[in-house]
């Protein structure tokens, strides 16, 4: 079976975890501090690690003061986590449409939705791409909005010579099992804003002020003050131990993902019934490889047949504005038309070039094959 996505772990991650187990200090301590230092080197800006990417988004929103009565602009075409992080603060997630070529936030559409209650914009770097990010920062400047980037797909992507996370307002990453690097679960917030960093460092430890410094020196806070709502959202040493090794291995992971995505592009470019994203894989490190099926062949049938042939596929994503909890009566021309045609093909560093050739040949056959009776 060629898996859609998966973790890629070596004996080095396993040894690192065993090391933490042997030391019998599983909570937040030395390993987390060291992972944060590694990330800060990578981004050239400070990073705060938390329990997952959703928590990173929620804490970033909370730190800029987003709460009940506020609105946050977010593309409908994203993982549910982006929406849940916004509603977790009590704010309203306002769904926007995406750009047709990249499926990233359309800032022209976002501008139409700005009200006096709009506090922040959450662009999502769909499949690792950041098309439109400069226009989006212009929009944020014009209306005085904070930007919290959902960069869960874009670890390692380079924009104008700088890494995603190395520029911009507040940038959130996920290290869940299938992302570009993993720490089991996990996530981080990257920003230069020292006030925001301090707030998030406290908020991840139940709001206990300055508890982070104590934990990094192997101590605990027995007497402390709390001045804001906090959460149990810190990262554990077990997770960080995995993350440290994955960060070291990242250059190989990135190259593998970029090569495979380029090969997909090359094998599918002439197909009239298949459309790929417009991405430059010299700079984008893709987390997923989604395509659109332009023929009338039912997607479900394509997925079922591919699975029979040993190929897992996925759908990124069902638009959030179609969910009962986030229902919107607005029209989303691009999102609505694209959503029914999306199909994600396997992409992770252990997919081989031979796999990609087999996947493309199978897909091309199916998509161009005779239409099926309903």
Ligand X SMILES: *Cc1c(COP(=O)(O)O)cnc(C)c1O
Interacting residues with ligand X (CB under 6 A): 52-54, 78-79, 81-82, 124, 150, 152-153, 174, 176, 187
Q: Which residue is nearest to ligand X (CB)?
A: 53
> Which CB sits closer to ligand X, 82 or 212?
82
> Which CB sits closer to ligand X, 101 or 314?
314
User: Which of 171, 183, 145 has its CA nearest to residue 7?
Assistant: 183
Minimum CB–partner distance for residue 224 and ligand X (Å): 28
Q: How is 306-344 classified by DSSP, letter by letter?
A: HHHTTB--B-S---GGGSGGG---S--HHHHHHHTTEEE
In the numeric block, the tokens 């023929």 are attached to 295
Q: Where are the beta strands (DSSP E) in the chain?
A: 47-50, 71-75, 92-96, 118-121, 146-150, 158-159, 162-163, 170-174, 187-191, 274-276, 289-293, 342-345
> Which CB sits closer to ligand X, 145 or 235?
235
In the numeric block, the tokens 């906090």 are attached to 230
In the numeric block, the tokens 């593998």 are attached to 256
Minimum CB–partner distance for residue 254 and ligand X (Å): 17
> Which CB sits closer to ligand X, 50 or 311?
50
In the numeric block, the tokens 């493309």 are attached to 360
In the numeric block, the tokens 């994600």 are attached to 344
Minimum CB–partner distance for residue 356 and ligand X (Å): 22
> Which CB sits closer to ligand X, 42 or 79?
79
For residues 146 and 71, what is the distance between their CA atoms, to the nearest angstrom? Answer: 11
Minimum CB–partner distance for residue 172 and ligand X (Å): 8
> Which CB sits closer to ligand X, 175 or 363?
175
Minimum CB–partner distance for residue 372 and ligand X (Å): 32
Minimum CB–partner distance for residue 124 and ligand X (Å): 5
Q: How many CA atoms lie within 13 A of 3 on its CB side?
A: 8
Minimum CB–partner distance for residue 50 and ligand X (Å): 9
> Which CB sits closer to ligand X, 174 or 236?
174
C-beta neighbour count of 126 within 10 angstroms: 30
Q: Is 211 helix (H, G, I), strand (E, B) or coil?
A: helix
């Amino acid at each position: 079976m060629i898996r859609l996505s998966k973790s890629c772990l070596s004996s080095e991650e396993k040894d690192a975890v065993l090391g933490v187990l042997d030391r019998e200090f599983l909570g937040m301590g030395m390993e987390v501090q060291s992972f944060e230092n590694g990330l800060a080197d990578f981004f050239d800006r400070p990073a705060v690690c938390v329990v997952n990417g959703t928590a990173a988004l929620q804490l970033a929103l909370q730190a800029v003061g987003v709460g009940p009565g506020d609105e946050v602009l977010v593309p409908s075409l994203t993982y549910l986590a982006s929406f849940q992080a916004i509603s977790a603060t009590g704010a309203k997630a306002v769904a926007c449409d995406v750009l047709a070529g990249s499926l990233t936030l359309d800032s022209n559409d976002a501008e139409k939705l700005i009200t006096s209650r709009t506090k922040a914009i959450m662009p999502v770097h769909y499949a690792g791409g950041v098309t439109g990010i400069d226009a989006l920062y212009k929009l944020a400047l014009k209306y005085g909005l904070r930007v919290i980037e959902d960069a869960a797909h874009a670890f390692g992507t380079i924009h104008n010579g700088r890494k995603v996370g190395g520029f911009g307002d507040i940038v959130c990453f996920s290290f869940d099992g299938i992302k570009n690097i993993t720490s089991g679960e996990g996530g981080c917030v990257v920003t230069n804003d020292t006030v925001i960093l301090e707030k998030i460092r406290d908020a991840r430890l139940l709001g206990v002020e300055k508890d982070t410094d104590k934990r990094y020196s192997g101590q605990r806070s027995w007497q402390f003050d709390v001045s804001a709502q906090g959460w149990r959202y810190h990262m554990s040493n077990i997770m960080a131990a995995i993350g440290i090794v994955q960060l070291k291995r990242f250059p190989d992971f990135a190259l593998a993902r970029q090569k495979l995505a380029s090969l997909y592009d090359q094998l599918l470019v002439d197909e009239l019934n298949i459309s790929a994203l417009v991405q430059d894989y010299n700079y984008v490190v893709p987390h997923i490889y989604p395509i659109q099926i332009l023929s009338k062949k039912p997607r479900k049938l394509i997925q079922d047949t591919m699975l029979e042939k040993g190929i897992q596929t996925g759908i990124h994503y069902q638009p959030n504005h179609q969910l009962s909890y986030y229902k919107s009566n607005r029209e989303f021309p691009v999102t609505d038309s694209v959503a029914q045609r999306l199909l994600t093909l396997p992409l992770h560093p252990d997919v081989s070039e031979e796999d990609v050739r087999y996947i493309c040949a199978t897909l091309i056959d199916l998509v161009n094959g005779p239409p099926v009776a309903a």
